[in-house]
Structure 1
Amino acid sequence: MIVYRLSRARFSKDLSGRGAELAGGRWNSKGTPMLYTSDSIALCTVEVAVHMPLGIVPFDYQLIQIRIPDDVTVKEFPETKLPEDWKSFPHSNATQVIGDQFIVDQEQLVLKVPSAAVQGTYNYLVNPRHPDFQKVTIVGTEPFEFDKRLFVK
């Protein structure tokens, strides 16, 4: 399976989940590493856009294509099993509890979760602490330019 990630060029080779570990996110608490990826380039774009203040166009980004081996099992967390406030803004602590437990359990390498930003699409959360993590590879990177219309005031 190929998944996508957008990141600043200086972090384009870093799959450690360190950024999420430092900042925390919808699916992980500060102190818990997690690699956030998406099922499409379009979803990556929206996921970056919803975290940027209006008027600031992200620059110096790379699109990273990441291969997750087909032989690993993916844990799916369907929307019907999520807490009622799972896509609230700011995000709920309940989703962080789910993601943190996924990392600790180490039962699967990948957790598939619905996107809070784009209905009907999915993010794939990768556990950098899982024994199979070394099988995750970058298959391509290229400069990515955002459409400025996404960020106008």
Structure 2
Amino acid sequence: MIVYRLSRGPYKNDLSGKGAELAGGRWNSKGTALLYTSESIALCTVEIAVHMPLGIIPKDYFLVKIDIPDNTSMKELSEAELPADWKSFPHANSTQMIGDAFVQEYEHLVLKVPSATVQGNYNYLLNPRHQDFRQVRIVETVLFEFDKRLFVKD
């Protein structure tokens, strides 16, 4: 399975989940490493855009194409299984608890979750401490140029 992420230049080859571990995110609290990826390039773009202030066009980003073995263990969560506040902004502690528990259980390499930004799309969260993580490979890394229209207002 191929998944995607957008990373700043210095971190384009870093799959450690360290950034999420330091900052926390929708699906993990600070101190828990988790690698955020998306099912499509378009979803990656939106996920970056919603976190950027208007008028700031992201620079020095690379599109990272990642291969996850097809036989990998995956846990999938549907919207019906998630707490009512799962899409809230700022993100809720309830979703962080779900991601933290996923990492601590070590049962699955991948957690498939609905995107909070694009209905009907999915993000794939990878546990970098899972025993099968060493099979995850970067297939390609290319400089990514964002369309300026996503970040400027008329």
Match of 1:139 in 2: 139
* Superposition pairs of residues 113-132 of structure 1, within 5 angstroms: 113-132=113-132
TM value normalised by structure 1: 0.99
CA positional deviation for 1:73: 1.8
CA distance in 2, matches of 1:9, 1:85: 33
Q: Which residue of 2 aligns with 1:78?
A: 78
| Residue 19 (str. 1) matches residue 19 (str. 2) | yes
Q: State yes or no: 1:63 paired with 2:63.
A: yes
1:94 aligns with 2:94: yes
Distance in 2 (alpha carbons) for counterparts of 1:72 and 1:90: 31
Query: Which residue of structure 2 aligns with residue 35 of structure 1?
Result: 35
Counterpart amino acid of residue 76 in structure 2: E
Calculate the TM-score normalised by the size of structure 2: 0.99
What runs of 5+ residues in structure 2 fail to find an aligned partner?
none
Measure the CA separation in 1 of the matches of 2:46 and 2:117.
7
CA RMSD of aligned residues (A): 0.4
Runs of 4+ in 1 over 3 A off after TM superposition: none
CA shift digits 1:91-117 (9 cap, x unpaired): 000000000000000100000000000
- In 2, the alpha carbon distance for the partners of 1:74 and 1:141 equals 24
Structure 1: runs of 5+ lacking an equivalent: none
Partner residue, 1:110: 110
